Amino acid sequence: MKFLEKYLHKMEPHFIKGGKYEKWNPLFETMATFAFTPKLVTTKGTHIRDGVDLKRTMMTVVLAMVPCLLFGIYNTGHWAEVAEAGNRNLDFWANGGAKFMTGLWVVLPIIVVSYGVGLSIEFLFGFLRGHSLHEGFLVSGMLIPLCMPADVPLWMVGVATAFAVIIGKEIFGGTGMNILNIALTARAFLFFAYPTSMSGDKVWMAGDEVDGFTGSTALGDLATFMSDKPTIAGEQVLGNGLEAYANSYSFLDSVLGIIPGSIGETSLIAILIGALILLGTGVGSFRIMASFFIGGYVMGLILNAFGGNEFLDLPAHFHLAIGGFAFGAVFMATDPVTASQTETGKIIYGFLGGFLAIMIRVLNPAYPEGVFLAILFMNVMAPIIDHYVVQGNIKRRLKRVKTT
C-alpha cells in the first residue's frame, strides 16, 4: 500500500493544472483521496490538523448502515420464501444461509444501480466543472436502496437516483449545497411519480405472485398494518384493526425487524447499532436523534389521549419501531447538510420532525409513511429555525451589553 501511495504522489504532477493529463484530474484526485488520506494539511492559523477528510466521514456513515444492510438482505430473503411458500408462519431463523443468498440476489442489483447511476452523474458533473467526485453520494448511494421496497423495479431506482442527484443536488452546486436530503428526494420522486408502485394495501416483499398475493407496494407502516390484506393459504397476512395487528406482529417483532417493509428500515436494533457508531465517532447528532424520537412519542401520546379508532389507539411506543421512523431519525434527519446547524436549532428541528412524522402517518391516510415527508419539510424549515435561534442569541447578548 505504501508503494501505491508513493506511486500516486509521483504521478500527481501529470494531473494537476498544466500537466500532461490535466483534463483527467477529477478522476485522479477522486481515486487518490478515496484510497489514501490527503497529503495536504492546514499550515496557517489555529486549525486542527487531521487526515480525516469528508470521504472518511462519509465512509463512517456507510459503516453505520452495514447492520441495516445485512439484516435487510436476510429479511428480504425470508419474506421472499414466505411469498413463495404461501405460509407466513415460516421460522424466521431457519435456513438462514439460503435466505441470505436469496435476499442478496434481490438487494445487490438495487445497490449496483443506485451507485452506478449516481456516481456516473457525479463523474460527469465533475469533469464538466473540473472538480473531483463529490463524497456525499457515498452515503446517498446506500441510503437510496435501504429506503426502497425489495421488489422495486431497477429502472425506477435508476430514474429516481438520476432525478435526486441532478435536480436535488447538482443544480444547487453539488455536495454541501443541496437543500433537501438526496435519498429522500429519490423516495419522494417515486412516491409521487409512481404512486401505485410505492403505496397501497399490499406488503413489500420480493417474490412471485402466490394465491393472489403480489408482495408489493406497501409502505410497511401504520396504514399498511391496519388495512385489509390479501390472503396467503387462506390466512390474513397482517389482519385488520389494532387487536389483529398485535396478534400478527408483536412489538418485539417490530424491534427485531421480523416484519415486511423497506429493505433497511425494519430492524430497530440494527438501526440503533448504526446510531451508536455515528454517535461514538462524533459524526451523528445526538440532539437531533433524541429530539426526533421524543417528538414522535409525544405526538403518539397526544393521539392516544384522543383515541377512538385503531389508528389513534396504537400505543405511542409502537410508532417508534414501525415503518421508517427510526431509520429516518438516525440516518436521514441527521444529514449535516440539510439539518439545522445551531445547537438549539437541532433540538427544535428534530422534535418537530418526529412530531410531524407521526401526525402525517396517522391523520392523513393518503401518506401513511409520513416520515420522509416530515423530514423533507423540516429540511426546508431548517434555515429559518437557525435564523431565529441566531437572532434570539443576538438579542439576549445586546440586552446583557445594555445592562452592563
Given a cut of 60, whether residue 109 has pLDDT beyond it is yes
| For range 218-231, the mean pLDDT | 38
- Can you give the pLDDT at residue 367? 67
Given a cut of 50, whether residue 221 has pLDDT beyond it is no
Instruction: Place 230 in a pLDDT band, splitting at 50, 70 and 90.
Output: very low
Decide which of 37 and 91 is more confident.
Answer: 91
- DSSP string across 153-189: -HHHHHHHHHHHHHHHTGGGTSTTT-SS-HHHHHHHH
Q: Where are the domains of the chain?
A: 2-35, 54-198
Mean pLDDT of the chain: 79
Instruction: Place 115 in a pLDDT band, splitting at 50, 70 and 90.
Output: very high
Instruction: Place 213 in a pLDDT band, splitting at 50, 70 and 90.
Output: very low
Of the candidates 104, 101, 132, the residue with the CA atom closest to the CA atom of residue 119:
132
Helix and strand numbers, DSSP H then E, in the chain? 18, 2
Which grid coordinates belong to 102? 436469496
Query: How far is residue 269's CA from residue 43's CA, in Å, rounded to a whole number?
Result: 43
Given a cut of 80, whether residue 14 has pLDDT beyond it is no
> Which residues touch 86 (CB under 8 Å, ≥6 apart)?
210, 211, 213, 232, 233
- Can you give the pLDDT at residue 80? 86
What proportion of the chain, given as a percentage, has pLDDT over 70?
A: 70
Which of 134-138, 196-200, 234-238, 256-260 shows the lowest per-residue confidence on average (mean pLDDT)?
234-238
